[in-house]
Amino acid sequence: MTAKNTIKKLLTAIGLTVSTIAIIGCNGDKQAISKAQLPAEKMTGTANKQALLTSADMPHYSTRSIQDEVFYFVLPDRFYNGDESNDLGAAADDSKRALSRGGFDKTHKGKYHGGDLAGLNEKLPYLQEMGITAIWLTPVLRNQAVQADTSGYHGYWILDFSEIDPHLGSNDELKDFIAQAHSKNIKVFFDIITNHTADVIKYSECHGEDGLGWIVSGNSCPYKSLAQIARGDSYNTIIPKGYETIKFPLWLNETKYYNNQGDSTWEGESAINGDFAGLDDINTALPIVTNGMIDIYKNIIDEFKPDGFRIDTVKHVNLDFWQQFSPALLAHAKEQGIDNFFMFGEVYSADPSFLSQFTTTGKLQSVLDFGFQSAVYQTLVEQKGTIELDKLFAQDHVYQDSDSNANLLLTFTGNHDMGRLAYQLRKSEFNYSEQEQIQRNLLAHALMFFSRGVPVIYYGDEQGFVGDGGDQDTRQDMMPSLVASYNDDDLLASDRTTADDNFDRQHPFYQKFSIFADLYLKHPALRYGAHTTVSAQEAPGIYAFTRTITADNNKVLVVVNTATTAQTFNYSADMVKRIYQDDENASLQQSDAGQFEISIPALSFAIYQIQ
């Protein structure tokens, strides 16, 4: 099949018009499509063409609520290489940063690939035109570059909490990137860590008397419980020679500020006190540590003025730490003039009752909504009934308190740890065709954009990335890749592979996400409205819900069909007006006074204004 015929088939499958195919062409040209060329009749239900909204059309970034954002979550190292001079990290003669040099190998999925802040700067127009209003970066602080056979390309092995990892650039380059993003009215969020530092502390019992055993053979250290420690059964800590003052601030080099209980089993007390895959677990129960971490991130706010933090491994830190950390950082940000500074945590659980304790008792403003991801997986990958969505949203009340609610949750379909939804669809026992994978993927993203919460696009999803699972297998390059296990992927809705440059504004997913972002930004009810389920069922089929801003008498109805056949839904209202339909065969008919019959084709959705 030719590239032209493949694109035509895929566009037709996901509801983009044939006229759009003529706009896109078939020669692989990478120039941007004019906003006016996109199928506006699909966006608005009219034949009037109009530009899609972007960050440039939104209120100033400093005044915007988190509910006005469309997030893009990106690993800078895997995005775009704008400065090849920093590929090896620290300079060869920089003894202070020697551990932050090296680890660069573009053919290895666990090594640095060269993406940097300069590359992100260069691609800001690509993000803005897709409707992105906020960028969430994986950690950018200086890392230990190499550990065993992999590297700190992901940013979670921090040695120095005061400066940027040299593989990504300098402190000044980060400030420039933030300034450039702000000039486009786009916010920047840092991924931060309080649970652990890089793996420097060793135990003689399992790493040898010189502490080098882990580096050489990868030995683990079984977790020792608090009861064992109380009986005197503890590990003997070692700092390898030459590493005694390698961390900054300097207090982080003191072993007394760490739990030193061996590797976590991810259960019970070890989930709080154990080393996270060998990383040095900080004892956040100590007041001096709590205050030290607060000071670290106050300094980050002072120097870089980010718009907020995503906080890593929240459930692996004691709850009372968050009760002190979150209010202190929010107050400090306000003192620096960042009135809408926002923090959301990673609590790896799909249980709302567990998640919500961190936004209520723990005083965080929000968390990533793993419950949403799970419900979408159940309905669109496992083909469970739409009642699973209703079960999730019926628990939204548990998030309600004076400073948080379910509308503030960050929703997503996949990430850098669990893998992409596209991969979960591809490996499904239902053996979905490519067309059905495309439709289910887009329907999942529609639910992410239009149900309650703040949408987060995982980088590469807009280019049909699939991957081979979680962790390293889902951290592909957007720039041309040399990793064989990435490049054998069959990307969705594209004839490209990850061996190609994948900043294609012509990709159907990029276009669809741009349309979704436009709808989200254009209609306040889709951002601020209370979410109420109208219809759900035990089998795949209709899930209908309203988003209502009562004060403005503003109600929007979203009707989703997860079945593989068309479904009909009846709704009572004075007036129902189409805003958007994902499939041209959807229909809206008034069957009687105050009664409307809505027909939604398979695996599609429609949005209506209710009066």
What are 492-522's pLDDT values in tens digits? 999 999 999 999 999 999 999 999 999 999 9
pLDDT at 215 over 70: no
pLDDT at 4 over 80: no
Question: Kind of pairing, strands 158-164 and 141-143?
Answer: antiparallel
346 is catalytic: yes
Name the 3-class secondary structure at 18: helix
pLDDT confidence tier of residue 208, bands split at 50, 70 and 90:
confident
pLDDT at 150 over 60: yes
Q: How far apart are CA 369 and CA 355, in angstroms?
A: 8
pLDDT confidence tier of residue 17, bands split at 50, 70 and 90:
very low
Contact assessment for residue 542 and residue 560, using Cβ atoms and an 8 Å cutoff: yes
Residue 217: predicted pLDDT: 54
Q: How far apart are CA 74 and CA 115, in angstroms?
A: 11
pLDDT at 385 over 60: yes
Q: ∠ CA(435), CA(437), CA(442), 5° rounding?
A: 100
Distance of CA 569 to the CA centre of its chain: 33
pTM of the predicted model as reported, rounded to 2 decimal places:
0.92
The DSSP annotation for 22-73 comes to HHH-SS---PPPPGGGS-HHHHHSSS---PPP-GGGSSPTTT--GGG--EEE
Q: Residues 436-461: what's their mean pLDDT?
A: 98
Q: How far apart are CA 526 and CA 7, in angstroms?
A: 31
Please write the tens of the pLDDT for every residue from 313-324. 999 999 999 999
Nearest-10 Cα torsion for 233, 239, 240, 245 = 180
Catalytic choice (129, 160, 199, 312): 312
Residue of higher predicted confidence among 169 and 19: 169
Residue 509 has phi, psi (to 5 degrees) of -70, -40
Q: Which residues contact 216 (CB under 8 A, 6 or more apart)?
A: none
pLDDT at 567 over 80: yes
- Per DSSP, helices labelled H in 262-311 are 270-273, 287-304
pLDDT at 431 over 70: yes
Catalytic choice (173, 191, 199, 346): 346
312 is catalytic: yes
Pick the closest to residue 194 from 109, 62, 282, 89 (CA basis). 282
Please write the tens of the pLDDT for every residue from 82-113. 999 999 999 999 999 999 999 999 999 999 99
